[in-house]
Structure 1
């Protein structure tokens, strides 16, 4: 259908076309008003470009299930019969006046606190979508509008799906934008490349990963590096870990925001946290971060702004020096929830900052409405007191590399997700039912990249191997 086929004043049910707004791959958007003015307009009418397009039925059904201030509200759906008697489906939603997220960022300087607030609202929209057993499948800055009041709206659920919905895509690639696809989605496409009936089932963790990519591009100005890589071996192609480039190596931003971006981009889906957990973490960061969260996000190559003084954690008094650029190492450890942290308090006494807690232990999430952002040696004997007191300000205290080397994490009681299991190879050691390799020249404390066992340091063996010859569709 020609998107300009609807002229001004055309009626579709009670909706009168005011102007043509634009078009995408599957639909054209018009600004409309009610035929009988009620003073509550304008509205957005999305008309299919293809007759009987089932995507519109699915998008309308998903929107009808969601009631959230950061998701457009569905008002009506119906059919427009054009010449020849061919029906084209349409949807009517509330009109969202706003600027796409990346364009908004290009127009003004943004701070870590502003970014946390906006991303928290998008995460809440995803929480509402996942609560009705739906997935967005195309989370990106182009589909987030920033209103004039600074609030964010997650739009364009045309690629969305929900449990029980009809399958519309029967071939690769799956719906969505390639740069935002999760590692597990990319691996599936490789492993099932020869299986025409294989279909990737998107999960909420895919939306969270896409939100992490959105956050990274929002603060850095470009996409993060490729999340998966492969190398050719004698046994065929194998997946290999990719060293992530932390956003704080590119730009100055608050440690809390940097840690959460890395967490959302975790290779292991369970480490990312749910959309609700991410939203709560971002809200805490927006509320509790220190003064550095109000500074513009700028490249690390630029000088520190004059007058920025670090705050003493003891006396709340300014210290006559500017804080260095944030530099927090990327964790390779497992996810530890607050319950396990309380029982392993010796493993975190050496942590000096919020980002260190989140990353050294593989991601601490606000699972019980509070999070311990930082633990200073000698200040607390357990995380219980910190949890009761709420998150602390860690923006002005970043652990140095020498301090990180004092951290000593014990080998966990069970293998990590994806870790190699016995029988182990000759050069490997079986510990607590998992396969490990010993760091021959290293003794505890082992730092952040290995784990202590009987006065030696070990690293887990990842179970990569050859892609399977068959994949369940």
Structure 2
């Protein structure tokens, strides 16, 4: 039995697609087609196959011109344009409106718009701005280029995107936030905000300066750039991000594709669509927002409450690394890979080109520290460091010693392992309470178990890092017991009651193991009686203090060995606050010591400076 005409059409199109099409085969199939009523439909389907394989706007425009001649029917050509445009949109590809501009068909006739879009080619917004190109889209907004005849200039216009009213209203809230961010960051480093108008269902549209230039991703491929120019470029970006930071905003999506290099060579930061106010960071815990390859570890974990200006510093470090090396620091494809990268990324010794000064590498690596309190405390501090490097690069290169830095990182890695253990225990305790009340199979109990497994995995990674760092000073730490089973539990997403009970049973053993490792580490380094020993012990003890709220008198001797001064330490103790502010105070204490070790800043602080530094 012969297949139906519709089925025959599908078979012919599939055969054509497998043969990779072409004008000769297309004419042959059309000549042999036995159903005149479906000939136009077949003709359009064959052209769709050919256009779907086109990989560039130039090729596609040429093919559309050929199709216009061959079809010789304005209505058929419009159908083809709409079909191809819809296919491209459905597959998430780039929709080049310019592909259709030479065909002599109006935008209204083509009706070119994607699902959820409020504007299309040829739209007139606010009776003033004429849409003439679609520049791109994100999760919440679409950006167009428009002409402003009254001012005789091009503008960029961003409108909300969403498939339903609820989605559009959410996107509108983000656009209103972006207006606040643009006003706060006003300057050459961001597009000028020109106007805010209403579109569609009384939704906001942002009219901005149309920034002429080249995306940083493409600019790096085209332009040779020396280390000094790289430092200046990142310094200017950091100054822009610092304006956001001082206004209370975190950008969250810093990446080369969001940066345009103007013809003058000055970088301009685009797309503030997912920026958020630090005051709101506790309201979206668990959500991962941004671009994974340029996201700080705390962002990869969805720890929104931990995001602040230092998270943007990490992203600037990833961009800096790419500018210096022309390589992407990390390639993350999905949430699972992100979770592993957040605790397993090894960036202590990435490769740099031979011509990259060691001092510049040190600045880049400080941005990329896994622990937020090891990074520059703000983008402004990064910009200042790059400015000092630009004026006197040798001074930074000579500060500190490898032994001091190893000592500092040893202490911080131990602290990271201990903190993972604390979170591990906390979630196991929460899981036990939930399981006893509602049963182990309930979603909250399983979620708590999943979080516990994640922090157990983080403990394994942090302890492995600690062991590797301890080898150059000559301290051999024993392997973490049950390391393999902890990792297997994480990778297999084991939700059994037996695994949950096993994890709870091993918690005291893991704590004892870390205590033993700490004693071995400090005893091995203490004999040297140098700054590395003091720094390592101080950082670790500070973490112990944070977690157990012990009396900090035991820190006195350790602190004195840092060489910063006893009076300042006493002043800090007297003003130190426990509770919610304890961690922030300890982070500032760590930063003071780190600046001492990295950059040789003065050993003493001026009167009242310590209070301002630690408790501001």
Query: Which of the five TM-score ranges fits, normalised by the shorter chain?
Result: 0.5 to 0.7
Residues 67 and 362 (structure 1), Cα distance of their counterparts in 2 relative to 1, 3 Å cut: farther
Counterparts of residues 111-122 of structure 1 (less than 5 Å): 111-122=226-237
- Rounded Cα–Cα distance in structure 2 between residues aligned with 1:144 and 1:60: 18
- Rounded Cα–Cα distance in structure 1 between residues aligned with 2:398 and 2:118: 51
Residues 8 and 270 (structure 1), Cα distance of their counterparts in 2 relative to 1, 3 Å cut: same
Residues 28 and 458 (structure 1), Cα distance of their counterparts in 2 relative to 1, 3 Å cut: closer
- Rounded Cα–Cα distance in structure 2 between residues aligned with 1:115 and 1:439: 41
1:267 pairs with 2:370: yes
- Rounded Cα–Cα distance in structure 1 between residues aligned with 2:402 and 2:197: 49
- Rounded Cα–Cα distance in structure 1 between residues aligned with 2:396 and 2:177: 45
Aligned residue in 1 for 2:159: 47
Equivalent in 181, 198, 204 of residue 89 of structure 1: 204
Counterpart contact for 1:258–1:355, Cα < 8 Å: no
Aligned residue in 2 for 1:73: 192
Q: Which has the larger share of strand?
A: 1
Whose Rg is larger?
Answer: 2
Counterpart contact for 2:348–2:365, Cα < 8 Å: no
Equivalent in 354, 357, 374 of residue 397 of structure 2: 354
Q: Which has the larger share of helix?
A: 2
Counterparts of residues 446-457 of structure 1 (less than 5 Å): 450-451=532-533
Superimposed CA distance per residue, residues 406-463 of structure 1 (whole angstroms, 9 cap, x where no aligned partner): 9xxxxxxxxxxxxxx999935644xxxxx953228x96487x9x5279xxx9897596
Aligned residue in 1 for 2:524: 439
Deviation larger for 63-72 or 150-159: 63-72
Specify every segment of 5 or more residues in structure 1 that has no aligned partner in the other structure, as ranges: 190-198, 228-236, 291-351, 364-404, 407-420, 430-434
Aligned residue in 2 for 1:14: 128
Residues 249 and 97 (structure 1), Cα distance of their counterparts in 2 relative to 1, 3 Å cut: closer
Residues 123 and 427 (structure 1), Cα distance of their counterparts in 2 relative to 1, 3 Å cut: closer
- Rounded Cα–Cα distance in structure 1 between residues aligned with 2:401 and 2:177: 38
Q: TM-score, normalised by structure 1?
A: 0.56
Aligned residue in 1 for 2:494: none
Q: TM-score, normalised by structure 2?
A: 0.44
Residues 122 and 358 (structure 1), Cα distance of their counterparts in 2 relative to 1, 3 Å cut: farther
Q: CA deviation at 1:80?
A: 1.0
Specify every segment of 5 or more residues in structure 2 that has no aligned partner in the other structure, as ranges: 1-112, 163-167, 333-339, 407-471, 474-510, 548-579, 581-616
Residues 240 and 43 (structure 1), Cα distance of their counterparts in 2 relative to 1, 3 Å cut: closer
Counterparts of residues 370-409 of structure 1 (less than 5 Å): none
Aligned residue in 1 for 2:347: 244
Counterpart contact for 2:314–2:375, Cα < 8 Å: yes
- Rounded Cα–Cα distance in structure 2 between residues aligned with 1:267 and 1:427: 21
Equivalent in 308, 311, 314 of residue 209 of structure 1: 314
Equivalent in 84, 103, 120 of residue 218 of structure 2: 103
- Rounded Cα–Cα distance in structure 2 between residues aligned with 1:132 and 1:459: 33
- Rounded Cα–Cα distance in structure 2 between residues aligned with 1:355 and 1:9: 60
- Rounded Cα–Cα distance in structure 1 between residues aligned with 2:277 and 2:524: 47
**SS of residue in 1 equivalent to 2:211:** coil
Aligned residue in 1 for 2:381: 277
